[in-house]
Structure 1
């Protein structure tokens, strides 16, 4: 039985890698990005390679994810769980910090050795201005890594995966939570979810984990202009609109 998020992703890749998996909108910028299962897996593999090979982060490492609910945040979740690293929203005791522009100053000033920054510009572009000394530009560092994650030891389902609200959730616990969440939403196989998100942890569950467990897909929307929801729902063939605010993994312990 599939017991970890990365195993689920690889299963879906083998089942139908060409189908859409995550479609991302930012209504504040007009950006739209669509990633197939295969493309998403490719980003996860490259990012996991960056984690493992450049940052020496593997099972048990804590990675502070300070990104908004962006498609690249979902990639980092997948990459961390592929190598067994644990996501946290706290810089304290983190082995690495992943930051966007809004939290860049605090991340750069921290005592964490490895800080990886995302410009969050369209098409994953690099920063236009120089970064603080010692901060890595994700868009510069990740392309050189392999398209497939190989020669590694798969993490156990009991590995810590998400630290939030004082609780630590395992890889296997997150899969079970996603299955429960799918039941709560009343969705079936191949559902396409519209996920209006303001919280990255809710986005990771509803736009990444839930689609995986139902062999479905998600339309992740940041800064949603709700007046256009009906048109987007029709255009994207959405089957279920996730209520906002959406519950996060904090609501369930496993």
Structure 2
């Protein structure tokens, strides 16, 4: 008789629980348009996620179950924000038809500010390679990069997250879908997965972002991918799996 694995206390707990070596690259982000390459070890990504979680709880006052609309492109900062939000127990909403009147806050990019003029709590992520802040924001809009820096880089989860965490789904369902996707793609612990796939929707976040991480693999994610450069990039990054 087999028994299912216990559900982690949060999505983030499950993701970092799969880490075997905190000094090794966990996420490597490329943008072929801008030329950016940013590599984060598990320790560094964990620190950014913890800062984000502490900001959401201590400064924003986010409580478990509160909804957070995340409207951001694929970027390493987006990963840290998602992990921080889940650590804080937030219900992340990625769907475009989210009722923003019902969310505790919206976090988006500077070019999307006008889409959320009626939101009480609007945060802007810089998406800068070095996480520098955004200047000259309108009054009432928070520069997330500057605000998050002052917060601690360790986070202690108060209690297990029991409610929905991603577009209505609970922790167990989100991580189970991620593990299933990893198995289908042959991604295992210690693998290095190069991916050009999008993760803007809840389903895509599970299968294209969380899948490698939940099994202890390293993710190389490429935005605005140049198809002619992918084979060379896979060799450079020593990718064992390429997801196109």
CA RMSD in angstroms comes to: 1.7
SS of the aligned residue for 1:204 comes to helix
**CA deviation string 1:132-158 (max 9, x = no partner):** 1111101210110001013x41333x3
Query: 1:2 offset after TM fit, Å?
Result: 5.0
* Structure 2: runs of 5+ lacking an equivalent: 1-5
Q: Which aligned pairs between 1:188-207 and structure 2 lie closer than 5 A? A: 188-201=188-201, 204-206=205-207
**CA deviation string 1:6-43 (max 9, x = no partner):** 22234245x31111000000111000000000100000
* Deviates most, 202-211 or 2-11: 202-211
2:3 alignment counterpart: none
* Deviates most, 133-142 or 116-125: 116-125
User: How many angstroms apart in 2 are the aligned matches of 1:197 and 1:207?
Assistant: 6
SS of the aligned residue for 2:165 comes to strand
How many residue pairs get matched? 233
1:224 alignment counterpart: 225
1:5 alignment counterpart: 11
SS of the aligned residue for 1:116 comes to strand
1:149 alignment counterpart: 155
SS of the aligned residue for 1:124 comes to coil
Q: Which aligned pairs between 1:1-254 and structure 2 lie closer than 5 A? A: 1=6, 3=8, 4-13=10-19, 15-89=20-94, 90=98, 91-107=100-116, 109-110=117-118, 112-127=119-134, 129-150=135-156, 152-156=157-161, 158-163=162-167, 168-201=168-201, 204-206=205-207, 208-243=209-244
SS of the aligned residue for 1:98 comes to strand
Query: 1:206 offset after TM fit, Å?
Result: 4.5
Tell me if structure 2 keeps the 8 A contact 1:207–1:219. no
Q: TM-score, normalised by structure 1?
A: 0.86
